[in-house]
A and B are shown apart, each in its own frame.
Chain A
Amino acid sequence: MTFEPVLLARVGRERSQSIDTYVSDGGYEALRKVLGGGWAPEAVTEEVKKSGLRGRGGAGFPTGVKWGFVPKDTKGQPVYLLCNADESEPGTFKDRLLMEEDPHQMIEGQIISAYALKCRTSYVYIRGEFFHGARVIQRAVDEAYEKGFLGENILGSGFSHDITVHRGAGAYICGEETGLIESLEGKRGQPRIKPPFPAVFGVFGAPTIVNNVETLCCVTHVMKRGAEWFAKIGRNEKNTGPKLYCLSGHVNRPGVYEAPMGLQMKELLFGEDYGRGMKDGRKVKAVIPGGASAAMLTPEEIEDCPLDFDGLAAKKSMLGSAAIIVMNEDTCIVDAARNLAKFFSHESCGQCTPCREGTPWLHRVLDRIESGDGRAEDIDLLEKISNQMANGMTICVFADAAIAPVLSSIGKFRDEYRHHVERKACLVGPRAAVGATA
């Protein structure tokens, strides 16, 4: 059975961004159905719950359940919906494609979600570096206003909604929902203390739901074709729907691929429809399955490895943003860990002590090991620093994310670290010979 793309169905179509082609391809039908077909907002939420849709941003929390956290009585406060388009997890580039190629799919989902949440105003918080994406989304929003899908009394239903596109300033941490909220309020992008959770106390102090771009796109299709249809796609009832996978690294054909949730890792890497195997026939050394903050997997671990929330949780890693980064046997794992540590050191917001001080420390020690100044005790030190940064030591889970590549690489490739500190050189890769005499 070949899988018919859902989310990427219109990608590649000529003028796929325009509202005309979107409508002629059946776009905004779901919205018409919801607003004109006697769907109560609660019924939409129920439908999304039934679909089994789980958030596509990283945590995989059931979307309908999340919506249900908004208090029934908001005490006169508005409810806000924020579209998290601050895609910045290294290796992730699915939301960018969705926004740049098919913006109306997302906007339609956003309006439907807003209806379900009885939300008058929603925001698209788009990553600062997505210049083109922001233009495309803004144009699409303008078109939606012109055609009456946004604004007062949408399609004569009595439901009114406005979308504002807000560009970020280039911080990874603003993808964390409370960091995003702070940033949207015009403050420094720093995660908030929870509780209170955004569903109770979010942007401007009002109940707020933050959903990922891909999640909102899925909502469009849940309402267009029904929860049952959606729930049938996927490995099991807990991991449903179509999923975008961002494949990158040493494979023949990197890119964004759509498949039913729970695609086998091996199929993604080697399948004819997907990655088509390793570049130059090299062997797999390690795979990061869910963006930089997911633990690395070894070649043994990617055997029978369904790419979904529970499949990867069983391997003590995570699906995260479904960014599958493949590293071949010539990759120096210490160098890879160093590179990721550098990223996290650069992106820490700096409010909590362990993360502010710990992430640069990890980076410096890794830098030293990689450049041949490592000592035997450094490997244990890295583990100890990591273990005292996370698990409640900080406000948000950034530190937990930052230590994942360090701990998993040491846990699974300790020999390579040892080689570095003993021989002052990489075990493999272009710098394998450097300093070998030392």
Chain B
Amino acid sequence: MSTPAAPAAPPPPPPGAEKKTITIVFDGKPFEVPPGINLIEAAKLAGIEIPHFCFHPRMSVVGQCRMCLVEIEGIPKIQAACTTPLKEGLIVKTTTEKVRDSRAANMEFLLINHPLDCPICDQAGECTLQDNAFGYGEQRSRYDERKRQYAGFDRTMIGPHVIADMTRCIQCTRCIRFCSEIAGTGELTFLDRGGRTLVWTHDGEPLANDWSACAADVCPVGALTTKEFRFRRRVWELEKTPSVCPGCNIGCNISIESRDRIVYRFLPRLNPAVNDYWLCDYGRFRSEPMNERDVTRVTSREGSEVKETTVPAAIERLATEIRKIIDSRGPSELFFLGSAHLSNEENFLLRKLADYLACGNRDVVVDKSRVRRMKSKTEWIEGDHFGANYAGAVDMGLTPGAGGHGLADVLEGRWTPDLVLVADAGFAAAADDPEAVARLRGAKFLVAAARTANALTRAADVVLPAASLAQKEGSFTNVQGRVQRFDRAFLPPPPARAHWELLLMLAAALGWGDRNWTPTDIRGLIRGEVEGYGDVTEEELAGGGLMKKGLFVSTGAI
């Protein structure tokens, strides 16, 4: 009830007619909008922008910024749209002179103490204050007094990730409400009052919840920024690519923000069913590791000598080794290890390849992490894998086939295959464990695709440089069973290639599949073969339309 914008009782429908929408008249034109939303959201649906700062669809309505002023027929005074309850027949005027003047007045108040130094502010380009100043403010200010300063409260790290600069704050309290209402941790609060009001942490305790950087996301201005991204790139230079967070199996929807083949940051991408508007700090800061690459060359060990080679040559050598083993000792001496970090398409190709060679020795292992939590629109979701796609890998059939061996057999010394193909050298902690690697190394031939070096790549006979998440396309299946597509932000640096591409090359060399297949084609195969994936259409994967490149949500597999 502290949020009066949420109407307690919708207006009684006329008898006999079950009405699912209500009619709001915006600037003379009636629009049908669903009940239970805020007037600002209703206007947005009608294609009308009501400028605002403090309103956020997932937070309580506080009506403090006073930017969303509109005229409501029947009420003489100007009204804040966010606090106006929706009701049938509401007549809203957003273009009158009074509305224009009131918004301009409010912009003037907001700017009098705000440093007008956008060129050196990191928020510029994605600053609501900047946008609204251009859209609704006056060119000139009449303020000719000293601007307010916050000595001791400027440019300070208030937590492991967030830097606060109160001179830029417009006191909208979104960050405070994020911490108290979404994260439920309540680190932030208002201090002092009136023109000296500022946002800070309680008793100097750090802003250190698992989602702390979301406080900077919801900040409409440059008052809260993240240490990791601050001053690294002007935001308008960044390319945004819809993707899925590689941090855990919740599969939060993200936007990869990159430029010149460098990932600068991850931002949450709206998906009410998974991560809503949010992203946890752990996942968000997987962005910088995206740029790591120390496997830059295709290497092939011959005898005691490690030589640089090409991808086709390495693939050919691998195919030759496989054929040799099949001819001499049979396919049961091969072992294919998939990964919870690889896409459905890649794991599917690996399993298909094993099937084609009549080999049941295949596996994928859980890469366990601590429990991570994410709040969707309706519920908390928990994930506890480092890999984003264990569920998908299992769905793709990467468990040992009938009579086949798994990774445990190898690591526990019950079985030593002749050839081990590790599709992703970062499949789990075991890949950097000398004992486990020694077991795998027991094979006559060990091959791995990798982006970063570890004990496994140092031990392998053939190492193929592979793409990062940002460098390839695919889909993950999250802990809810939701299939979500991620796009490629940029190409991997040659000679590195996407894992699926390497696998396709190998399959083609062995006589199966088509070298020219794309992930879309592979998804077509998955749709035809894998139970539960038949309904996941490309339209659904690409659909949604909440971001420029789409929402990429599917409900088909749930």
Contacts and interface: CB of A to CB of B under 8 A. Distances in A.
Interface of A: 171, 173, 188, 192-196, 201, 205, 345-354, 356-361, 364-365, 368, 381, 384-385, 388-389, 391-395
A32 B521 CA distance: 89
A195 B67 CA distance: 19
- Most B CB within 10 A of own CB, among A349, A357, A364: A357
Contacts of B105: 354, 388, 393
B4 A353 contact: no
B1 interface: yes
Contacts of A392: 69, 77-79
A196 B189 CA distance: 25
Contacts of A173: 193
B4 A348 contact: no
3 tightest A-B CB contacts, nearest first: A392-B77, A350-B197, A388-B105
Contacts of A346: 194
Given A365-B145, A388-B102, A356 B197 contact: yes
B152 to A, nearest CB: 18
Q: By DSSP majority rule, is chain B's interface helix, strand, loop, or mixed?
A: loop
26 contacts: A188-B190, A193-B4, A193-B63, A196-B4, A346-B194, A349-B193, A349-B194, A350-B196, A351-B62, A351-B173, A352-B65, A352-B66, A353-B67, A353-B106, A354-B106, A356-B171, A357-B110, A357-B113, A357-B195, A364-B145, A384-B142, A385-B142, A391-B77, A391-B78, A392-B78, A393-B102
A164 to B, nearest CB: 23
Contacts of B112: 357, 361
B2 interface: yes
Indicate the member of A196, A352, A358 with the most B CB atoms within 10 Å.
A352
Interface of B: 1-2, 4, 61-67, 69, 77-80, 83, 101-102, 105-106, 108-110, 112-113, 142-143, 145-146, 148, 170-171, 173, 189-190, 192-197
Nearest to B107: A353
Nearest to A346: B194
Contacts of B80: 193
Nearest to B110: A353
Nearest to B61: A193
B1 A354 contact: no
A178 to B, nearest CB: 11
A89 to B, nearest CB: 17
* Most A-side CB within 10 Å, residue of B145, B170, B171, B193: B193
A361 B171 contact: no
A196 B1 contact: yes
A205 B4 CA distance: 12
B2 A361 contact: no
B113 A352 contact: no
B438 to A, nearest CB: 62
Nearest to A378: B144
Given A350-B190, A350-B197, A353-B64, 17 more contacts: A173-B193, A347-B193, A348-B193, A348-B195, A354-B66, A354-B105, A356-B171, A356-B194, A356-B197, A357-B112, A359-B194, A360-B194, A361-B143, A365-B145, A368-B145, A391-B77, A395-B64
A78 to B, nearest CB: 15
Contacts of A365: 145
A394 B66 contact: yes
Nearest to B108: A388
A371 to B, nearest CB: 12
A348 B195 CA distance: 8
Contacts of B69: 392-393
A192 B64 CA distance: 10
B194 A353 contact: no
Given A193-B61, A350-B190, A353-B66, A345 B195 contact: yes
A415 B248 CA distance: 72
Contacts of B197: 349-351, 356
B188 to A, nearest CB: 12
A349 B194 CA distance: 5
B65 A192 contact: no
Contacts of A350: 171, 190, 192-197
Nearest to B77: A392
A352 B69 CA distance: 12
Nearest to B1: A201
A273 B101 CA distance: 51
A354 B190 contact: no
A361 B112 CA distance: 9
A391 B76 CA distance: 9
Select the residue from B80, B171, B195 with max chain A CB neighbours within 10 A: B195
B189 to A, nearest CB: 8
A395 B63 contact: yes
A358 B109 contact: yes
B430 to A, nearest CB: 52
A95 to B, nearest CB: 23
B66 A192 contact: no
Contacts of A354: 66, 105-106, 109
Contacts of A394: 66
A353 B109 contact: yes
A437 B194 CA distance: 37
Contacts of A345: 194-195
Contacts of B145: 361, 364-365, 368
B7 to A, nearest CB: 11
Nearest to A173: B193
B4 A195 contact: yes
Contacts of B62: 193, 351
A285 B442 CA distance: 103
Contacts of A353: 64-67, 106, 109-110, 170-171
A297 to B, nearest CB: 26
Contacts of B2: 192, 201
A188 B62 CA distance: 13
B94 to A, nearest CB: 15
Contacts of A384: 142
Given A356-B171, A358-B109, A393-B78, A348 B194 contact: yes
A151 to B, nearest CB: 31
A315 B192 CA distance: 37
Nearest to A392: B77
Of B63, B64, B67, B83, which is in contact with the most chain A CB atoms at under 10 Å from its CB? B64
Nearest to B172: A353
Contacts of B148: 360
Interface centre among A205, A353, A385 (most CB of B within 10 A): A353
A345 B79 CA distance: 24
B194 A347 contact: yes
Contacts of A352: 63-66
A359 B193 CA distance: 12
Contacts of A356: 109, 171, 194-195, 197
A395 B62 CA distance: 9
Contacts of A385: 142
Nearest to B196: A350
A350 B79 CA distance: 19
Contacts of A196: 1, 4
A186 to B, nearest CB: 13
Contacts of A358: 109
A359 B109 CA distance: 10
Given A348-B195, A357-B109, A393 B66 contact: yes
A378 to B, nearest CB: 9
Nearest to A394: B66
Nearest to B53: A353
B64 A381 contact: no
A69 B83 CA distance: 22
